Amino acid sequence: MIMLGLESSCDETAVALLQAEGDNVRTLSSQVYTQHKEHLDYGGVVPEIAARAHLEKFPPLIEAALKEANLTYNDIDAIAACTGPGLNGGLMMAMMFGKSLAVSLDKPFYATNHLEGHTLMARLSEKLDFPFLMLLVSGGHCQFIAAEALGQYRIIGGTIDDAIGECFDKTARLMGLGYPGGPAVDRLAQQGNPKAFKLPLPLRHEGIDFSFSGLKTAVRTLVEKHQPLTDEVKADICASLQFAITKLLSIKAERALEMVGMNQLVISGGVAANRSLREQLAQMCAARGAAFFAPPISLCTDNAVMIAYAALLRAQKGHPGDSLDANIRVRWPVEELR
């Protein structure tokens, strides 16, 4: 079976082709266009600009994927499009391209949840079995998902205000480090002293929810106090912020593992690219005898392999596809699948 996946929920336009023969799943092509330059001047994703860019990028990316896989449209057996959660205009693009292809090729259409896609990636890359605890950390999300079986996910905790990626991006913007901020903060932090500034660890002692707004404010205050910023202070702020975030996530992840009684932790989402976060979580898991999985970074950030894969697993379980009446869902908790 050949599944085409389409993803455009935020600022990545992505197309993938997967081939499944039983349990053996191969990625024939994964095309990702990241709209950094479109949003650079704004310091964040502008929904209108994102939607227009997806509209322009899908046709050449679909062609490129078919070419790389050495296939034609007629070889596609089913089409999966990410229909939520995400930005309204972007989601519509994947959905409309997906439905149009499904109608013209007379093949099933799978309306696919972005968060389920992220959650399942470690099954593909690390052959991980259920159950496992997923820590999803991206520009739009920060949540713990207990994955019990295919289609059975429970959100057990998460941010009560901003997403974690925003915390990196806004800090970077304050210091003029460009967009997206995470990689820049990660890079600069390597040269700074993580103990230079003591930042708060919000909700450190309570439960497994996160709050990042206080941390953001504390960074803003630091930046204002140290004007004009030297390169050294910038590096120290980045290192201190990264230290605080990493520590907080590690404390909460350990508590979450205990809460659900699981011994497998998976990390995904764009922020999972952060080196210090990966190291800390790996250490915490090793210390408690749990297994830690971090898919390759290209599968942690937004991609269409995850969309095609989530649909493929449903199809293999006998799901015939979704109705063409299926609509986008800007908010679509992973607990509310099918």
Secondary structure element (H or E) that encloses residue 153, with its range: strand 152-158
Query: Cα angle vertex 62, ends 61, 65, to 5°?
Result: 85
**Closer to Zn ion at the Cβ: 108 or 270?**
270
**Paired sense of beta strands 291-293 and 109-113, if any:** unpaired
Q: How far is the CB of 183 from ligand KG4 (least distance, A)?
A: 5
Q: How far is the CB of 45 from Zn ion (least distance, A)?
A: 12
- The residues, any chain, with a CB within 8 Å of residue 8's CB and separated by 6 or more, are 14, 50, 54, 58, 82, 86, 90, 91, 93, 94
Residues in the chain: 338
Residue range at the interface with Zn ion (CB under 5 A); choices 171-179, 273-281, 296-304, 312-320: 296-304
**Closer to ligand KG4 at the Cβ: 139 or 321?**
139
Q: How far is the CB of 138 from ligand KG4 (least distance, A)?
A: 3
- Amino acid at position 238, single letter: C
Characterise 57 by phi-psi region: left (phi > 0), alpha (psi -120 to 50), beta (else): alpha
**Closer to ligand KG4 at the Cβ: 166 or 254?**
166
- Amino acid at position 63, single letter: E
Q: How far is the CB of 22 from ligand KG4 (least distance, A)?
A: 30
Residue 138 touches Zn ion, criterion: CB under 5 A: yes
Tokens of 5: 């996946």
Give the separation between CA 192 and CA 239, rounded to whole angstroms: 5
Q: What angle do the packed helices 275-287 and 181-189 form, to 10 degrees? A: 70
Distances, alpha carbon 302 to alpha carbons 19, 192, 218, 309, in Å: 20, 29, 29, 13
Q: How far is the CB of 92 from ligand KG4 (least distance, A)?
A: 17
**Closer to ligand KG4 at the Cβ: 84 or 140?**
140
CA-atom Rg of the chain in angstroms: 20
Residue 302 touches Zn ion, criterion: CB under 5 A: yes
**Closer to ligand KG4 at the Cβ: 139 or 295?**
139
Residue range at the interface with Zn ion (CB under 5 A); choices 31-39, 221-229, 235-243, 302-310: 302-310
**113 near 38, Cβ under 8 Å?**
no
Question: Which residues of this protein are in contact with ligand KG4, per CB under 6 A?
Answer: 10, 138-140, 165, 168-169, 180-183, 186, 269-271, 273-274, 301-302
Tokens of 187: 């890079």
Residue range at the interface with Zn ion (CB under 5 A); choices 83-91, 164-172, 271-279, 298-306: 298-306
**Closer to ligand KG4 at the Cβ: 27 or 138?**
138
Which of Zn ion, ligand KG4, none binds 168 (CB below 5-8 Å, type-dependent)? ligand KG4
Give the separation between CA 48 and CA 50, rounded to whole angstroms: 5
Residue range at the interface with Zn ion (CB under 5 A); choices 105-113, 133-141, 169-177, 327-335: 133-141
Q: How far is the CB of 276 from ligand KG4 (least distance, A)?
A: 8
**Closer to ligand KG4 at the Cβ: 201 or 260?**
201
Number of neighbours of residue 22 by Cβ within 10 angstroms: 7
Q: How far is the CB of 336 from ligand KG4 (least distance, A)?
A: 19
Q: How far is the CB of 118 from Zn ion (least distance, A)?
A: 6
Binding footprint of Zn ion on the chain (CB under 5 A): 138, 302
